[in-house]
Amino acid sequence: MPHPPFHKVLVANRGEIAVRVIRACHELGVRTVAVFSEADREALHVRSAGEAVCIGPAPSSESYLCGEVIIAAALRTGAQAIHPGYGFLSENAAFAQSVIDAGLVWIGPPPSAIESMGSKTGARQRMIAAGVPVVPGTSHAIATAEEALVLAVEFGFPVMIKAAAGGGGKGMRRVDHPDDFASAWRSAQSEARKSFKDDAVYLEKFVDDPKHIEIQVLADAHGHTVHLFERDCSVQRRNQKVVEETPCAVLPNDTRLAMAAVAVQAAEAVGYVGAGTIEFLYSQASGEFYFLEMNTRLQVEHPITEMVTGIDLARAQLRIAAGEPLWFAQKDIVQRGHAIECRVYAEDPSQQFAPAPGRISGLREPGGPWVRVDSGVYAGYEVPIHYDPMIAKLVCWGSDREEAISRTIRALREYRVRGIRTSIPFFAALLRDPDFADGRYSTGFLSPERLTRLTDASRNDEIATIAAALAQFERDTRPSRPESATPRESAWKRSGRPGGA
């Protein structure tokens, strides 16, 4: 066994990602400390870790976001390093700096790199300076419609007018033709003023029907940066990724390599160290791609890259943070086969994906060949209302895309979660959708109509009818037996072979 990179690591997160990091630590011979809120005493990451420390009440703001308390816990338990997972404090440069200032190792990029990529406009300017393609547009407000129109013609229509202070689609207008520009400009300004008390608007080229493609990078502290190819994360609902796959089914290989080269360039431009992801918009129509943002941490969807490259990204983070130079070169990284991830949410697909926390009364996760479940729950666990609804990730590998899809469908069919509702039934219909099968789907794939159609496609009313009638019959005819009793005898035992029935 090689020397562990650390003696002990504190994992400043919860749920499946905390369990993921704890697993990587244990495999490397590193001891672990979990932190938990009062609502999480029974959480799986507490059960999985070597030690566990309570850091405060249920709300994240009073526990998982309390950097000082977490650093104190690390110092008290003798941890040498802190791994932030994703979300919570993972992209908080000030927290990263505090960890370092406390004499601990931060398992993530340098705070300066987090900072550089943290501001969207700052990152955009830095990327332009580094020669990385960004969506053509103005990073700041434009004074007049006339001035803006000149730029719009330069970018090429369609263009988007966006509120500088904006978000949530307010003060946003798509313009397809120069003739419509002036009126769209006025109405965008007016809506921006009403929504944000600020009528500043700016311009961006509209990327029609784009794919969301991202490149995984790994960089060590000795100046080596490599990429681990792409992930296609275009299946999104409410701007949240739902299904990811690698490789992208339709990306031309020269574009793939060009994006990867740009991603390495972007990471090097900010002195990146560790695991990171460069997100791009990719236009299938034009074949062009544009830098969107960089995630300076491990991604939710990192497992699909692991499955096709054979490289354990969480372990790599630990070894890099301990100062180890990369132990492989770019040419050693080869994509083999195809991998798909489905994010399992505690949400009810039949109720517009409303959150569905509650107790998991029964759980059987799928298994067998090339099926990986990164789970944050167990049978009997109560999914709390306080945190993100993602309870697990199903990751399947296949020697090709068809094999990966059919294996994922098989695994979804095995997956049993009782007691709460989840997005599981929805995925099997999604993976069978012909528009998913041909791989050309864009970020607009999951329209409300498609969501409804896919959910309806997973119904089995005939079977549900028979089950409900039998359940009622058992209830009516055996009133004295408590609900939880298990009748163990089967008709077969009494009747013998069915051939004779």
Q: Does 222 bind other proteins (CB under 8 A)?
A: no
Select from a second copy, other proteins, none the partner in contact with residue 29, using the beta carbon and a kind-dependent cut-off of 5 to 8 Å.
a second copy
Q: Closest CB to a second copy among 159 and 314? A: 314
Catalytic residue among 31, 297, 315, 407: 297
Q: Closest CB to a second copy among 48 and 255? A: 48
Question: Contacting other proteins (CB under 8 A), which of 9, 10, 30, 49?
Answer: 49
Question: Contacting other proteins (CB under 8 A), which of 400, 448, 461, 480?
Answer: 461
- Fill in the amino acid letter for 363: L
Q: By the 8 A CB rule, do 215 and 305 touch? A: no
Using CB under 8 A, which residues numbered 407 to 446 contact other proteins? Answer: 412-413, 415-419, 421-422, 424-425, 428
Fill in the DSSP letter of residue 60.
G
Q: Which of these segments, 114-122, 250-258, 278-286, 349-357, binds other proteins (CB under 8 A)?
A: 349-357
Select from a second copy, other proteins, none the partner in contact with residue 91, using the beta carbon and a kind-dependent cut-off of 5 to 8 Å.
none
How far apart are alpha carbons 112 and 94 in whole angstroms?
A: 10
- How far, rounded to the nearest angstrom, does the alpha carbon of residue 192 sit from its chain's CA centroid? 31
Select from a second copy, other proteins, none the partner in contact with residue 337, using the beta carbon and a kind-dependent cut-off of 5 to 8 Å.
a second copy
Q: By the 8 A CB rule, do 376 and 300 touch? A: no
Please give the C-alpha separations between residue 436 and each of 143, 248, 268, 431, 441, in angstroms, as whole numbers: 43, 12, 34, 6, 6
213 closest CA partner among 174, 186, 241, 187? 241
Lookup: tokens for 114? 């987090």
Residues that bind a second copy (CB under 8 A): 1-2, 19-20, 23-24, 26-29, 36, 38, 41-42, 48, 53-56, 69, 72-73, 76, 303, 306, 310-312, 314-315, 336-337, 362, 364-365, 367-375, 378-380, 382, 399, 402-403, 406-407, 409-410, 413-414, 437, 486, 488, 490, 492-493, 496-499
494 labelled catalytic: no
Q: Closest CB to other proteins among 273 and 411? A: 411
> Cβ of residue 471: shortest distance to other proteins, in angstroms?
4
Q: How far apart are the first and last CA of the chain?
A: 61
Q: Closest CB to a second copy among 22 and 113? A: 22
Residue with tokens 């195809």, as numbered in its chain? 338
Q: Does 400 bind other proteins (CB under 8 A)?
A: no
Q: Does 465 bind other proteins (CB under 8 A)?
A: yes
Beta bridge partners of 157: none
Q: Which of these segments, 130-138, 216-224, 324-332, 381-389, binds other proteins (CB under 8 A)?
A: 381-389
Lookup: tokens for 101? 């200032």
Residues 6+ away with beta carbon under 8 Å from 256: 229, 230, 247, 248
Q: Closest CB to other proteins among 146 and 474? A: 474
> Cβ of residue 312: shortest distance to a second copy, in angstroms?
6
How far apart are alpha carbons 324 and 302 in whole angstroms?
A: 21
Q: Which of these segments, 117-125, 152-160, 250-258, 475-483, binds other proteins (CB under 8 A)?
A: 475-483
Q: Does 389 bind other proteins (CB under 8 A)?
A: yes
* DSSP helix/strand/coil, 192: helix
Residues 6+ away with beta carbon under 8 Å from 478: none
Q: Does 459 bind other proteins (CB under 8 A)?
A: yes
Lookup: tokens for 239? 């701007």
How far apart are alpha carbons 165 and 77 in whole angstroms?
A: 44
256 closest CA partner among 240, 280, 275, 220? 280
Please give the C-alpha separations between residue 343 and each of 20, 268, 300, 303, 370, in angstroms, as whole numbers: 15, 31, 9, 11, 17
Strands 225-237 and 210-219: antiparallel
Select from a second copy, other proteins, none the partner in contact with residue 124, using the beta carbon and a kind-dependent cut-off of 5 to 8 Å.
none
137 closest CA partner among 171, 169, 170, 160? 160
Select from a second copy, other proteins, none the partner in contact with residue 27, using the beta carbon and a kind-dependent cut-off of 5 to 8 Å.
a second copy
Q: Closest CB to a second copy among 230 and 365? A: 365
How far apart are alpha carbons 231 and 244 in whole angstroms?
A: 7
> Cβ of residue 362: shortest distance to other proteins, in angstroms?
5
Q: Does 350 bind other proteins (CB under 8 A)?
A: yes
Lookup: tokens for 309? 């490259």
Select from a second copy, other proteins, none the partner in contact with residue 156, using the beta carbon and a kind-dependent cut-off of 5 to 8 Å.
none
Q: Does 480 bind other proteins (CB under 8 A)?
A: no
Select from a second copy, other proteins, none the partner in contact with residue 144, using the beta carbon and a kind-dependent cut-off of 5 to 8 Å.
none
Q: Closest CB to a second copy among 2 and 479? A: 2
Question: Contacting other proteins (CB under 8 A), which of 125, 169, 367, 378?
Answer: 378
445, 447, 451, 452: CA torsion to nearest 10: -140
How far apart are alpha carbons 389 and 345 in whole angstroms?
A: 5
Residue with tokens 């098989």, as numbered in its chain? 410
> Cβ of residue 56: shortest distance to other proteins, in angstroms?
15
Number of residues that bind other proteins (CB under 8 A): 82
Q: Which of these segments, 181-189, 267-275, 433-441, 464-472, binds other proteins (CB under 8 A)?
A: 464-472
Active site residues: 297
